[in-house]
Amino acid sequence: MTQAFQIESRQVKDKPPRSLAGKRASSPARLNHLKVLEAESIHILREAVAEFARPVMLYSIGKDSSVMLRLAQKAFFPGKVPFPLLHVDTSYKFPEMIAFRDSYAREIGADLIVHQNRQALAEGANPFSLGTQKCCGLLKTQALLGALGEGGFDAAFGGARRDEEKSRAKERIYSFRDAAGQWDPKNQRPELWNIFNSRINKGEHIRVFPLSNWTELDVWLYIYAENIPIVPLYFARERKVVLRGSSIMLALDDQELLPGERTQTLRVRMRSLGCAPCTGAIRSDADTVPKIIDEMVSFRRSERENRVIDHDEEGSMEVKKREGYF
Amino acid sequence: MISALDRTPPAGFDLFLEQHLKLELLRFTTAGSVDDGKSTLIGRLLHDSKSVYEDQLESLRNSRLNRSTGPLDFSLLTDGLRAEREQGITIDVAYRYFATARRKFIIADTPGHEQYTRNMATGASTADLAVILIDCTKGVLSQTRRHARIAALLGIPNLLIAINKMDLAGFSQEIFDQLKSESLALAQALAFVSAVCIPVSALAGDNVATRSHNMPWYSGLTMLEHLESVPLGRQDNAGALRFPVQYVIRPDSSFRGFAGQIAGGRVRPGDFVKALPSGQTTRIQSIVTFDGELSSAASPLSVTLRLQDEIDLSRGDMLVSTNSPPHVSRHFLAMLVWMNSQPLVLGATYILMHTTHRVRATIRAIRYRVNVDTAEHEPTGSVSMNEIAAVEIATVSPLFFDPYSRNRTTGSFILIDPLSNATVGAAMIQEPLSQIPAAAASAGSGELGDNKPLEPIRNSARARKNGHYSAAVSLSGRLGVAVELEKLLFRKNLQVTRIGDDGAPGKALAAVVGVLDAAGLIVIYSGAQISREHKQILSKVFSDCYLDLDTANLSSHDELAVRQAAELVQSLSAVNLSSLGRQQVSHA
Ligand SMILES: Nc1nc2c(ncn2[C@@H]2O[C@H](COP(=O)(O)OP(=O)(O)O)[C@@H](O)[C@H]2O)c(=O)[nH]1
């Protein structure tokens, strides 16, 4: 896309030029889709907080988490977000993500829990020797289940969207998990209107997905309209990278290069944020939210494409989800 | 003509952005018999509205599973789970998303097979429009009638009938006209707000997003044009104010706000409102949101309301307009869709969730079952999975409701089995019943089970009436928690009482709690430091149904501890009355 836009990066300015709150009075007939989605998500967040004894929010530091967190702030305003944020840290996250996480949590006064599968890390779990499947199993899925168990959480908010991936399309907003944390896609509770069944037995829990009905475009539009801070890795900038297979990997300071590899500087950004060894960057000039949106609607590649993990095996996301992954 | 397909309108990207910040939202559901082409049609809509990613298309091109006669099997785009891919069928409700320059669309894709009613009801519950497919080589089937009937029953205002596979009928106008008059007659009988009929070929894309050159005789809108322009007649915000209180926000003593999603009507500061169930009247002080105070807010916004007076109001209560309040009743007639493999049990107690209100409910009578194929009312004694029936329901405390035809939020509820926790039914309220009618009264006498003359009331009969067994909990040192726990359980309509440890000898305690146990009550025993001896007495008298909360690891936060304790008490005393009923039969 080559059009020049009048809209510059607004992530640094205080006030968005177009607030969704708009005229401060909503006309029912003309309520825009983001406002409707926002109202629905706030309803879901409040419902779960009212009905569960110990909810927690899975905070992944990505753009979806950022939107979900803003919705939580809105849901309980002027009160504080009434549950802790849980970050399952594989120890392989980009340093910029960790820095953003810590400063943002501090800024909004959130209660942040960082959890790692220490045992697996001590035993040297890493994606290179284990393969991404196994590594994710230990450092994400097992770590998550461990954190939920340790905290005694009976509900966990996740930022997953149904449009992300085929097997997510059938996920309920309240997704029931048995005592082993597993998902049974064939035996889900019917979910009608905006009524959610929160009844569980001890040891079971519910994953609650307030962003179920949002698309990637909705998320970006909302970030734009609400001026929500996101990790700078999403914005294009000259970065040191190595080309590995068909992927562009960021060359972090402590990263070992494989034989024959050398670093170079390219203008790139991350489309989705995962672990540094398993998430590739894309070449891009998009250094503002509108440019990211523009790029997104022009290129039409799905956002998880740059994650190695989903492609290992056909239907691999579904397999992981059954086991307890988000 | 179809500007909808241009992701980047000519005037530039900022116009695109401007447009997309103003999209309306339309939710629709799709129905059709197996092989009518539903998956292909949805795949087509996603593809032609450019909502399919390049890499997804690539994997489609490379897929070994092309079951279509075209180069791309669009139906693969919508096949969700591994099991389904392997079996080649869709088994549950799946949601798809796409947007044009005018609207964002949410499709609830419900498959056509034996669990159909349950799935379609799920998808239809939030839909503004139903797309029903007819394979023009098969015509209007009894399935078509069924789908239209369920759509109407769930209150979907708009119907779009897509006559598919027109390519197989030589794009014949005659065939279309025949099917059109037949299906529109059906729609008329079911009183949809709007109904249209469009000839399409999902496989080739004719009249889906682009006008068909093969059917010049058709001058109406394409499917996408219709979806983009059909009026969004949300009746819920036209009606009177309904504000179910969801959560009380109280960050400090100076602020008390009631959070919730407006379920009907509009609210403004200064408005008089009535609180239910208390009946107290007050005025709206302000509408608080993160983005500033609002001068007015309407359904379906989620807001926080501050009131001018301190009134008694909490989760499950409702603020309503003073001049047109909802029905307030414990008895009502509802259309029930049964969703569980265990059939509905007459007289059994279920947990009913209506807006933010949870209450125990009993099915008093089944008036009739609806034959979804013929619309006939059939007498029946039970309701099985995927059946729809008109039932009379009684709740332990009143619901505040409107007929479903007036308000889909305050007119709907779900039923939960208290033992399995499964969502077993979903219902649409039709009207209040002023008193328990004769048919229900006889069903109500089932409360005594098969008690013989002169036989004392059985425990099971008490449990059936109370909705729980007798139970006891003990809690040392946290009087505040014990008092609040009693209140919370009381509010939830459990038969609960609290006794304090006044140092009475064990014998006296045993005598007192023995009577309470026989009466079927839930006993909260609180004291500074409850002795082992007293705990043993409770455990003996209440046998299985005793819990020592001192060892239950309750939160140190009082409010949380109360909620945790209440959950424990409820699961401790929970009764599956349907199993109770069956046990009695097998004993006889
Ligand atoms: N000729 C023709 N075949 C179609 C059309 N739409 C769907 N089909 C085919 O009909 C079969 C069933 O389609 P599918 O979308 O899987 O049906 P579903 O069971 O309703 O989801 C497939 O082989 C499709 O390729 C159409 O418009 N014309």
Q: What average pLDDT does the segment A156-169 reach? A: 86
Taken in order A70, A76, A82, A83, the sign of the CA dihedral is negative
Nearest to B22 by CA among A229, A227, A27, A303: A27
DSSP secondary structure string, B391-440?
EEEEEEEEEEE--TTT-TTTTEEEEE-TTT--EEEEEEEEEE-SS--HHH
- What is the amino acid identity at position A79? G
Q: Per the omega criterion (within 30 degrees of 0), is the bond before B432 cis? A: no
Cα-to-centroid distance, B67 and ligand 1 (Å): 9
Taking only residues 106 to 125 of chain B, the set having a beta carbon closer than 8 angstroms to any beta carbon of chain A reads 106, 109, 118, 121-122, 125
Cβ-nearest to B290 among A73, A197, A221: A73
CA distance B339 to B336: 9
Contacts of B16 in chain A (CB under 8 A): 294, 297
B342 CB within 8 Å of a chain A CB = no
DSSP A281: B
Tell me what pLDDT residue A324 has. 62
Nearest CA owner, ligand 1 atom 8: B37
Q: Above pLDDT 70, what percent of chain B?
A: 83
Half-sphere exposure of A30 (CA within 13 A, CB side): 10
Kind and range of the H or E run holding B378: strand B377-378
User: Could you tell me if the CB of B283 is within 6 A of ligand 1?
Assistant: no
Q: Per the omega criterion (within 30 degrees of 0), is the bond before B418 cis? A: no
Are B288 and A28 an interchain contact pair (Cβ–Cβ within 8 Å)?
no
CA distance B27 to B162: 17
Mean pLDDT is lowest, of A39-48, A277-286, B316-325, B550-559, for: B550-559
Q: Above pLDDT 70, what percent of chain A?
A: 81
Tell me what pLDDT residue B453 has. 63
User: Could you tell me if the CB of B40 is within 6 A of ligand 1?
Assistant: yes
Cα-to-centroid distance, B40 and ligand 1 (Å): 6
CB B142 within 8 Å of CB B373: yes
Mean pLDDT is lowest, of B37-51, B86-100, B372-386, for: B86-100
Residue B248 has pLDDT above 90, yes or no: yes
Residue B125 has pLDDT above 80, yes or no: yes
Q: Between these two residues, B450 and B125, which has the higher pLDDT value? A: B125
Q: Between these two residues, B411 and B43, which has the higher pLDDT value? A: B411
Residues 6+ apart with CB under 8 A from B83: A185, A186, B91
Residue B425 has pLDDT above 60, yes or no: yes
DSSP secondary structure string, B111-133?
--STTHHHHHHHHHTT-SEEEEE
What is the pLDDT confidence band of residue B430, given thresholds at 50, 70 and 90?
Answer: very high
CA distance A202 to A197: 15
Beta bridge partners of B99: B104
CA distance B237 to B297: 10
CA distance A136 to A140: 5
Kind and range of the H or E run holding A33: helix A33-51
CA distance A181 to A199: 16
Distance of CA A261 to the CA centre of its chain: 31
**How do residues B515-565 score in pLDDT, each as one tens digit?**
898 888 999 999 888 888 888 888 888 876 888 898 888 888 888 888 888
Beta bridge partners of B431: B333
Choosing from B29, B68, B172 the residue with most ligand 1 atoms within 8 A of its CB, the one to mutate for a pocket test is B68
Q: Between these two residues, A158 and B82, which has the higher pLDDT value? A: A158
Q: Torsion angle of alpha carbons B142, B148, B153, B155, nearest 10°?
A: 170
Are A50 and B414 an interchain contact pair (Cβ–Cβ within 8 Å)?
no
- What is the strand order of the sheet B522-527 is part of? B496-500, B522-527, B471-476, B546-548
**How do residues B188-218 score in pLDDT, each as one tens digit?**
989 898 999 999 999 999 999 999 999 999 9
CB B119 within 8 Å of CB B30: no
Cβ-nearest to A33 among B25, B298, B421: B25
B91 CB within 8 Å of a chain A CB = yes
What is the pLDDT confidence band of residue A16, given thresholds at 50, 70 and 90?
Answer: very low
Residue B56 has pLDDT above 70, yes or no: no
Tell me what pLDDT residue A292 has. 92
Q: How many helices (H) and strands (E) does chain A have?
A: 10, 10
Residue B6 has pLDDT above 50, yes or no: no
DSSP B495: -
Residue B275 has pLDDT above 80, yes or no: yes
Cα distance from N-terminal residue to C-terminal residue, chain B? 73
**CA distances to A152, B73, B136 from B129, in Å:** 42, 26, 21
What is the pLDDT confidence band of residue B501, given thresholds at 50, 70 and 90?
Answer: confident
CA distance A177 to A203: 9
Cα-to-centroid distance, B39 and ligand 1 (Å): 7
Q: What average pLDDT does the segment B560-572 reach? A: 83
Q: What average pLDDT does the segment B459-467 reach? A: 73
**How do residues B68-90 score in pLDDT, each as one tens digit?**
666 666 666 665 444 454 554 44
State pTM to two decimals. Answer: 0.78
What is the pLDDT confidence band of residue A303, given thresholds at 50, 70 and 90?
Answer: low
- B441 SS3 class: helix
Nearest CA owner, ligand 1 atom 12: B35
CA distance A112 to A115: 10
Q: Between these two residues, B64 and B323, which has the higher pLDDT value? A: B323
Residue A17 has pLDDT above 60, yes or no: no
Cβ-nearest to A53 among B249, B563, B571: B563
Residues B409-422 as b or e (16 or more Cβ within 10 Å = b): bbbbbbbbbbbebb
**How do residues A43-91 score in pLDDT, each as one tens digit?**
999 999 999 999 999 999 999 999 999 999 999 999 999 999 999 998 8
Tell me what pLDDT residue B60 has. 64
**CA distances to A83, B378, B548, B587 from B142, in Å:** 51, 18, 58, 44
Token pair 């949809």 in the structure block, residue: B192
Contacts of B246 in chain A (CB under 8 A): 43, 46-47, 50
Looking at every residue in chain A, the average pLDDT score rounds to 82
**CA distances to A190, A212, A270, B411 from A227, in Å:** 36, 21, 19, 38
Residue B404 has pLDDT above 90, yes or no: yes
Residue B584 has pLDDT above 70, yes or no: no
Tell me what pLDDT residue B104 has. 93
User: Could you tell me if the CB of B164 is within 6 A of ligand 1?
Assistant: yes
Choosing from B34, B35, B93, B223 the residue with most ligand 1 atoms within 8 A of its CB, the one to mutate for a pocket test is B35
Q: Torsion angle of alpha carbons A57, A60, A62, A67, nearest 10°?
A: 0
Question: Which range has highest mean pLDDT (A306-320, B157-171, B219-233, B338-352)?
Answer: B157-171
